[in-house]
Amino acid sequence: MYKHNSKKAIEEPRVIVYVLFTTVLVLAGIYVAFTYMGAIDIRFDFSDYNFRYNSAVARLIYSSQCYAYKDSYVSEDGQTYTQVHAGVLDLNEIVASSKIPETCIRGEQPLFVNITQYDMSGSATKYYTLYTGSSIPTDFSNWNSKELTFKVILTDGAKEYDGVMKLRLKK
């Protein structure tokens, strides 16, 4: 019996040393991680602008309250349905007013949109300007320098045209 107890007595310091060593390593790792991570400056401007750009573009080209082309049809049961063509812009809506309706962009940051219409040969034929606010902006010094470009299809209901939409947001 005496020998059995002595083995246990020898193992206890090893366990204590192991636990202390592991604890010191973990604490040192946490200290080093927080020291280095504290020096990292994380900026969310890029992601924030991308989110706002994508949100504004999605409203402009996918929403029936904005410029997405929509048509109606009557089903077999006699009900009338409206179909929205995503990514296809209604030229009649664009030509009617260059001011973006408030039902389209609610509470969004001011934006400025240029749309270029191309013919079948690839030549630019018409230019359209859309904006939020009371008038077309002339001073772009306080606007974001990043301009997002999307390829769109423009239609007047009878004919389709290729187009490019360029969008800028205010800072």
Within a domain: residue 40? Answer: no
pLDDT for 157 beyond 50: yes
- At 17 the pLDDT is 85
Within a domain: residue 22? Answer: yes
Higher pLDDT, 7 or 16: 16
- At 1 the pLDDT is 45
Within a domain: residue 80? Answer: yes
- Facing residues of 80 across strands? 74
Tens digits of per-residue pLDDT, 22-47?
999 999 988 888 777 766 666 655 55
Q: What is the mean pLDDT of residues 105-130?
A: 84
Within a domain: residue 39? Answer: no
SS3 content of the chain, % helix, strand, coil (to 5): 35, 30, 30
Same domain, 89 and 11: no
Q: CB atoms < 10 A from the CB of 134, how many?
A: 6
User: Of 8-22, 93-107, 157-171, which one has max mean pLDDT?
Assistant: 157-171
Q: Which domain holds residue 88?
A: 45-169
- At 23 the pLDDT is 94
Same domain, 98 and 143: yes
Same domain, 67 and 123: yes
Q: Where are the beta strands (DSSP E) in the chain?
A: 68-74, 80-90, 111-118, 124-131, 148-155, 160-169
Place of tokens 């077309």: 136
3-state secondary structure of 51: helix
Same domain, 135 and 90: yes
Same domain, 26 and 49: no
- At 26 the pLDDT is 94
Higher pLDDT, 50 or 123: 123
- Facing residues of 129 across strands? 114
Same domain, 19 and 57: no
- Whole-model pTM: value is 0.63
Q: CB atoms < 10 A from the CB of 128, how many?
A: 18
The one-letter amino acid code at 11 reads E
User: How far is residue 80's CA from residue 52's CA, in Å, rounded to a whole number?
Assistant: 34
Within a domain: residue 69? Answer: yes
Number of domains forming the structure of the chain: 2
- At 13 the pLDDT is 75
Same domain, 78 and 137: yes
The H helix count followed by the E strand count for the chain is 3, 6
Q: What is the mean pLDDT of residues 73-91?
A: 89
Nearest CA-CA partner of 105 in 48, 61, 59? 59
- At 164 the pLDDT is 92
Higher pLDDT, 62 or 9: 62
Residue 58 is classified by DSSP as: H
Within a domain: residue 99? Answer: yes
User: How far is residue 139's CA from residue 142's CA, in Å, rounded to a whole number?
Assistant: 8
pLDDT for 85 beyond 70: yes
Same domain, 65 and 126: yes
Q: What is the mean pLDDT of residues 137-161?
A: 85
Same domain, 24 and 72: no
How far out from the chain centre does Cα 23 lie? 44
- At 39 the pLDDT is 65
User: How far is residue 68's CA from residue 83's CA, in Å, rounded to a whole number?
Assistant: 10
